[in-house]
């Protein structure tokens, strides 16, 4: 359980938020790179989606840290 009193557990909350924001983007990036040679048109969609997800995730995580 995460306690937010006196800052205890706040780092854990930040790490969980970072993972929620960035793990799906990393997974889609890996899928896109794996499919690049076999299905290039499909892979481009995955790579574009992961890039957009990285930008949105960075904005959300950056806004939470300020």
pLDDT at residue 19 in the model? 84
pLDDT at residue 4 in the model? 54
Question: Does the residue 32 lie in any domain?
Answer: yes
Question: Does the residue 9 lie in any domain?
Answer: no
> Can you give the pLDDT of all 66 residues of the chain as single tens digits?
455 555 666 777 778 878 887 898 999 999 999 999 999 999 999 999 999 988 887 776 666 665
How many structural domains are present in the chain?
A: 1
What is the CB-side half-sphere exposure of residue 18 using CA atoms within 13 A? 8
pTM above the 0.85 mark?
no
Question: Does the residue 51 lie in any domain?
Answer: yes
Backbone dihedral angles phi then psi of residue 32, each to the nearest 5 degrees:
-65, -40
Question: Does the residue 3 lie in any domain?
Answer: no
* Helical spans, DSSP H, in the chain: 10-34, 40-65
* Secondary structure letter of residue 6 according to DSSP: G
pLDDT at residue 36 in the model? 92
Segments forming the whole domain that contains residue 53: 21-65
Residue 5 and residue 21: Cα distance in Å, rounded? 24
């Amino acid at each position: 359980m995460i306690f937010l009193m006196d800052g205890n557990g706040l780092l854990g909350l930040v790490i969980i938020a970072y993972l929620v924001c960035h793990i799906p983007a990393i997974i889609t990036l890996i899928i896109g790179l794996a499919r690049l040679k076999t299905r290039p048109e499909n892979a481009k969609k995955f790579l574009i989606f992961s890039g957009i997800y990285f930008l949105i995730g960075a904005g959300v995580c950056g806004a939470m840290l300020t």
